[in-house]
Chains A and B, each alone.
Chain A
Amino acid sequence: MIFAVCFALIGNAVAQQSVTGTVTGNDGVGIPGVTVVEVGTANGTITDIDGGYSITVSESATLVFTFVGMQTIEELVEGRSTIDVTLLPKEIGLEEVVVTALGLSKDKKALGYAVTEVGGDEISMVKDHNPANSLVGKVAGVVVTQGTGGPGGGSRVIIRGNNSITGNNQPLVVVDGVPIDDSGVNSGGSVYNSTVTGGGITDINPDDIESITVLKGPNAAALYGSRAGNGVLLITTKKGNRNKGLGVSLNSNITFDNPMILPEYQNEYGQGTQGNVPGNITDLKGASGSWGPKLDGSNQLYYTGEERPYVAQPSNFEDFFQTGEKYVNTISLDGGGENYSMRFSYTNNKTTSMIPNSDLKSHNFNLRSVVDLTDKFTVDAKATYFTQVLNNRISQGTEGVLSTILTMPRNVDINDLKVYQIPEESLNSISFGSLGANPYWMLYHDRNENKRDRFLGFAKATYEFTDWISAFVRIGTDVTSVRYESVNQPGHHFYKSGRLNFGNSRNTETNADFLIMIDKDLSTDFNLSANLGGNHSYRTYEAQSIYGENFKIPTRATVANSVVQRPSYTPLEEKIINSLYGQVSLSFRDFVYLDVTGRNDWSSTLGENNRSYFYPSVTGSFLANELFDRDAELFNLLKVRASWANVGNDTSPYQLYSYYNVASDGYLGLTQLSRPNVKFNPELKPENIASLEFGLEGSMLNNRLFFDVSIYNIKTTDQIYDVPVPESTGYSYFRENIGEMTNKGFEMLVGGIPVRTENFSWQISANFSQNKNSLNELIEDLEEHPLNTTNSGNLSVVATVGGGYGDLYGTTWRTNDAGQLVVDANGRPQASTEKVFLGNSQPDWIGGLTNTLTYKDISLRFLIDARFGGKIYSQTSAALDGSGVSVQSLEHREGIVVDGYVKQDDDTYVKNETSISGQDYWGAVSGIASEYVFSQSNIRLREFVLSYNLPNSILKDGFIKGVNVGLIGRNLFFLYKEVDHVDPEASLGTGNNGQGILSYNLPTPRSIGFNVNIKF
């Protein structure tokens, strides 16, 4: 209805008038090139060489004056014909107002902890489907690992290191003050078959985002209590503008994705074994590696049964990929009057993957309205509906799509695989190998569909009781329904008899909260602001699914047609957290600030004695420049800050007491009960995270240079942890509050404006961060926690006491006590019996460097980011060598006598003299983990934007009010990289187990495209 009202109010003709004036700096000299625009329209001009301007506007117009590096000024025309303004230099980081916890806006200079705000244009211009990916390289202390699962995939966002061994380590996402649910997310991580689904932040439309504020760690986030331990991403979405007519904006973003990096293949040897091409199909398919003879063009048996010239197909893997296309179109309408504003947007996203027949379609509708009912009473409401269909989300790992072709023989033509089944002969999937794994079968014959519908909305009423007391009540809800259909047709290489899995689930989160805000000057020196609030959070989850296998009529996989059926039903799971919280901020003469917060949560997931818990925080800051540099000769700002906070984490429902589950398919139909293999603990306490942070923040040289440095120490104790115990205890895990993990780190942000002239400016911003994670204790005698293991078990990712989160332990070359390399009786190298430490998967430091160059209406921004240290095990690389397709595997093709020793029956060692083939050599070496542990260090050109604003002189008073066109790119190329074949930042999943191992990952896409924004 609000929408309708808005339309009724627009379109009234208004009287026009002309305005002239001069824009000067605080030195009184005219500034040329200042943009002067009538708010809400594209009507605008630019000041001349003396700073003068002239413009025709409506009588009720507001003019806005903007210039790079200067503060923006708005002036109401109110019938004036001359308006002179003085622009002051923008005091970067000084007068900024930032959104903090509970959505409270605060002066950035008053904050005692580090927050970083990323503006909406940085998110929506080089659009990634997932707004989280737009944080890469922009915020110190934030590590974003992108799941390489194709369109619609999520990312792992870690702020200041991992705090929990098994629990959630990712930040809470709050949209317009309302926490949203991210529990429906499939985080992947399996080395066999990993798919990463989005959800949570990925459902937020980048075009609707006004800003993302990163509240780093507990200090900034303490007011969010139990869920704030890992920091908060506060997303503020756009509102309409008041006092302006209806504006329509169209934004089109078209990008094209191609693989950024592909493996380096050899093209000298083809399918075969031990230098031979078997002369029969069975043996040929059994020999699916490229260990045949030299590709000499002679006629040889081909996997289809034909004789074919034995020649290389150099681009066979590359040819599998197509150019992924992403079209994101947004239309937004916004407008407002004196007492209201509204904004509506619709975004349509149609993305096709680099992988055939894999695509995403989504629609996002968003309506936001703010209305002043009286001068004291304001209502703000928003509704967002999001619907997405994902077809063939890519699975990674050894059973994923790429596993079928990454190591395909060098003489196999990818196009031949398009014949994945010959129904007249058999239902079975066919390929060059005996397994018959074929990517086209998986993509065109099987089905894998995921639909997600989501509604997000809130209504908020704010009342101003006096000029220093106001309060609001708000209710927000988030409902996500997911429906998935996954079918392996009969004949599938792993599920010969076929299987299906249909299911749906529903997550909801409803938050009702209130906040009373007091802001009062106690005296001329002291100001007090206080907030008191409460929140009731209600979260639910429910799901149903049906699994079927083995089909009566094997041509179609339907539920009724399946012989074995297994339904599964999860009744409504509920969780409530009630909270009361408060904050008191005191400031003295606007240069000493003290901020104290407290929050008490009552969680339904904990036992009676432990369900109520309190979290405090204290922060203070002090503006040193006010003492020694009041005239801003050097420093415009020099702030020292300190902060201490303590927050926690509860758990999921039903984690306290043991229970019995009845088996839906008991053996021989007998009633059969079992209990979980976790020994529950009714005395479970919430986890505890304490954090201490110090920072120094400054702006100097007339705000041309700024910096922000933080150090922190975060200690997590009482972790809710399933201690893996020897199974002979009768359980696999005991649930306990144990362990201590610390994250110590250093963050730095430095930036400035090295050049600012009339037409040209150069802004630079660099960030750097370092985090050292260590696991100090688990439980007596328990030294490590496994996070993930390779298929063959030759390498594990673990958290170790005294070490850290994500340590890699794997096999290395086997040696004897004398340190000699040991080979087996056949002369093959062997892997060591024990696993040794091979590195840690967390980066040592990360950094980003953004440069923005503006010349008149052209602007160029590019982001280079770096990640140094940290190791990764590439199962992909091992497979490339083991199957003889990599360039490396050309070594030793003519045979090698490994320089090693053979163990004799009497335990003595004799020098090896047996020659082995390259195939045997690489077959053995590819199983040795240490050979495939690589450094993650890399530097890449992450983002690139070249944009151009069509000058108003061209548009004049046309129908079109503004045009911006941009050439954009993401993940363009590596400037530096140590590992071959793969992107070292790729991951198997976004969960705790997804890090440290690469296995048949989809190549990281290189995106290049255009962005066009037109305002009417």
Chain B
Amino acid sequence: MKSYLKIFIIVAVAAILTNCTDKFNEINTKPDSFTQEEVSAKYFITRPQFRLYAPDRYPYWRAHLIHTDRYAGHFCFGMKGSWWNDELGYSYHSGYTDASYDWLAGYIGDLDNFMKMTDEGGEFENQYMYAMGQIIKGLYFQMYTDVFGMIPYSEATNPDIVLPKFDEQREIYMGIIKELDEAMATIGDETSTGTNVDDIGSNDIYCGGDLQKWKRLANTLKLRIALRAHGAPGADFAGAAITEALGAPLLDGASDNVTMEKDIEISQWGSAAYGDVWYNFGTGSDWTIGKTLIDLLRDNNDPRLPMYAKPAAGGTAVLEKPEGDEAAKHEKRVDFILNVLTEAGVEFTRTDLEDGGVEITMDENVYYVGQPTRLNGKTQPYVAYQFFSTPENKIIERKNAGPIRAELIFAAAEASFLKAEASVKGLGGDDAQTAYQEGIRQAMKLWGVSDGDIDTYLQNEAMAQLDGTMEEKLEKIASQRWIMAYTDGFEAWAIVRDMGYPKVLADGVSDIDLYGLGDINGKYPQRMRYGNSASSKNGEQYNIAVSKQGPDTQETKLWWAK
């Protein structure tokens, strides 16, 4: 009996312990993933590139559409049938704010991965690819800091620092310029990142692997941020940077526009387009174009108008007189809306109905009318959708239906506008008028305007002449840059805050019968509040930043806007 027991124990223990641990490493290796040995650096560039300008629908909707495109004054919600009134976003909403912050803050991982791989000593060391990474990093940090202000920069991506400090904007701008300078120096006269697998080529969806274009992009970005910094407290570095940038090649001509072709098939959960919001929900999620933009285009006979916008659908709408609390405001709101139509040159017929309602009929698909920005919810029933212009089809095209307008990364026209601005401010030697008109020409070419139409505009329109006082000149440059930045709300919003134009936006709103004043009592939003994760993950540094920068509210001005 004892021997049976012995046998039993031996067999049992052996059964458990054979292959005790020798297969462990093998079964704990993920079978459908790749290791560093199997891959190349170029496979890591595309993702950080598209995710900066066309992330998945979640941030695309919340950060781009709800916040920056609307703060920029380009787009409006709050017409009849919209889910929201146009106060959305001006009243702090932590869910939408967090989505925006988390996306921008969380973006860095992919880029950092690419840069660490291509950095000196990295697995795929390639100085040119690293330089590209530095330039993308510049684009990213400018976008990121211009939304929130102080953010972690100098200690970001440092493997030894888990809780990085928030840098002042001045430091960030200086840092970006330094990295751009390094990148440009690295690139030198080189044209490609290498040969075979080392050639980043078509995986680079900004510049197609053209290093010289990257270099011009870097230099133009340097000029943009140096001019934005110019005049801000302690921005002593800006003058030299502007001079340097003006002395080196900038983006120039139609082939130098940096745009990103849209993937018209990719799932909205991979990368989104405006159409993913526009078509997937019906009218509730639609939007119109802001009055400021339409007015600037229409009133100056700008040939881009039909490329940016579609005429108002027109037809008949009734502005009903409500019962209850809001009846007293009826006349005021009717007058307000009809005045908008009148200002837009709409010839409409008005019929006053027995119940106090007003029936309005206008021609269909004729008039370009922009919707006033920041109307409140009580005015919403007066904002008939068919009165207002909507984006041109190609901008909001749905996936799998046709070409979608490319994402604007950096327009070559901006280089000319920046030259003009530098010149007006006495910082550069270019002829301001020439540069300004070249900027308009390039900006129009970006949208496919014919040379003839461009010439007509440049010759005939007061808006095309850079004349008047210095302030008037700067207003024109700001306005043209702001028009050019259409569909890039991040940059357009920064232009309004930095340069103060279009003034009607920068001035904010005050009439509580018509406008939604938001949490900021009608002031223009100067920044977005940090996401909740900023304080929850890095509370101490967050508190230091807030104490330096000012309260974490939307009305706190950023360094360069002071």
Contacts and interface: CB of A to CB of B under 8 A. Distances in A.
Contact of B537 (A534, A550, A668, A724): A724
B471 to A, nearest CB: 24
Interface stretch (A154-162, A226-234, A725-733, A880-888): A725-733
A468 to B, nearest CB: 12
A959 interface: no
B500 interface: no
B93 A792 contact: yes
A423 interface: no
Contacts of A550: 399-400
B29 interface: yes
A471 interface: yes
A734 B162 contact: yes
B196 interface: no
B109 A578 contact: no
Interface stretch (A203-211, A314-322, A655-663): A655-663
Interface in A986-1010: none
Contacts of B445: none
A117 B34 CA distance: 50
A493 to B, nearest CB: 8
A165 interface: no
Given A293-B324, A728-B164, A671 B47 contact: no
B30 interface: yes
Given A465-B5, A653-B28, A833 B553 contact: yes
Contacts of B263: 667-669
Contacts of B551: 833
B280 A665 contact: no
A657 to B, nearest CB: 8
Given A466-B1, A550-B400, A726 B163 contact: yes
B16 A667 contact: no
Interface in B99-116: 102, 105-110, 112-113, 116
Interface stretch (A250-258, A749-757, A780-788): A780-788
A826 B537 contact: no
B281 A667 contact: no
B44 A673 contact: yes
Contacts of A824: 517, 519, 521
Contact of B536 (A666, A677, A784): A784
Contacts of A16: none
A549 interface: yes
Contacts of B122: none
A927 to B, nearest CB: 9
Interface in A665-684: 665-675, 677
Given A282-B80, A563-B400, A786-B536, A728 B151 contact: yes
A956 B307 CA distance: 94
B28 to A, nearest CB: 5
Contact of B46 (A280, A653, A667, A794): A667
B261 A668 contact: yes
Interface in A94-139: none
B512 A796 contact: no
B98 interface: yes
Interface string B151-162: 111011111011
B23 interface: yes
Given A534-B12, A571-B31, A729-B156, A672 B43 contact: yes
B322 interface: yes
Interface stretch (B217-225, B265-273, B421-429, B434-442): B265-273
B507 interface: no
B517 A731 contact: no
Contact of B94 (A497, A512, A666, A793): A793
Contacts of A794: 94
User: Contact size class for B?
Assistant: 35 or more
Contacts of B25: 608
A469 B4 CA distance: 12
Contacts of A830: 519
A671 B320 CA distance: 56
Contact of B378 (A274, A285, A903): A274
Nearest to B202: A670
A578 B20 CA distance: 7
A673 B39 contact: yes
A830 B24 CA distance: 57
Contacts of B163: 725-726, 781-782
Interface in B139-154: 151-153
Contacts, number: 302
Contact of A578 (B21, B378, B380): B21
B537 A726 contact: yes
A654 B32 CA distance: 11
Contact of A729 (B29, B164, B284): B164
Interface residues of A, number: 113
A687 B80 CA distance: 56
Nearest to B81: A282
A26 interface: no
A604 B161 CA distance: 31
Nearest to B31: A571
Contacts of A465: 1-2, 4-5
A790 B107 CA distance: 23
Interface stretch (A70-78, A428-436, A837-845): A428-436
B203 interface: yes
B282 A293 contact: no
A495 B107 CA distance: 27
Contacts of B113: 674-675, 730
Given A465-B4, A659-B35, A564 B98 contact: no
Question: Which of A286, A734, A792 is most buried by chain B, counting CB atoms within 10 A of its CB?
Answer: A286
B47 A793 contact: no
A275 interface: yes
B320 A283 contact: yes
A589 interface: no
Contact of B106 (A275, A662, A727, A784): A727
Given A656-B28, A726-B164, A677 B106 contact: yes
A471 B512 contact: no
Contacts of B116: 730
Interface string A777-819: 0000111101001111110101000000000000000000000
B43 A671 contact: yes
Interface string A588-623: 000000000000001011001001100000000000
B520 to A, nearest CB: 9
Contacts of A793: 93-95, 97-98, 532
Given A473-B12, A724-B537, A826-B517, A564 B267 contact: yes
B323 interface: yes
Contacts of A279: 318, 320, 355, 357
B27 interface: yes
Contacts of B536: 724, 783-784, 786, 796, 798
Nearest to A726: B538
Contacts of B2: 465
Nearest to B276: A497
B447 interface: no
A381 interface: no
Contact of A659 (B23, B30, B325, B522): B30
Contacts of A657: 29
Contacts of A88: none
Nearest first, the 5 closest Cβ-Cβ pairs linking A and B are: A275-B324, A793-B94, A728-B156, A276-B322, A659-B33
Interface of A: 272-280, 282-283, 285-286, 292-293, 428, 434-436, 463, 465-466, 469, 471, 473, 493-497, 512, 514, 516, 532, 534-536, 549-550, 563-564, 566, 569-572, 574-576, 578-580, 602, 604-605, 608, 611-612, 653-654, 656-657, 659-663, 665-675, 677, 723-732, 734, 781-784, 786, 789-794, 796, 798, 824-826, 830, 833, 835, 895, 903, 905, 917
7 contacts: A280-B320, A608-B25, A667-B47, A674-B113, A789-B532, A791-B95, A793-B93
Given A435-B284, A670-B46, A729-B164, 20 more contacts: A274-B325, A275-B326, A286-B82, A563-B400, A576-B23, A580-B13, A612-B21, A659-B35, A665-B270, A667-B47, A667-B263, A723-B162, A725-B537, A727-B106, A729-B162, A730-B157, A789-B98, A793-B98, A794-B94, A825-B512
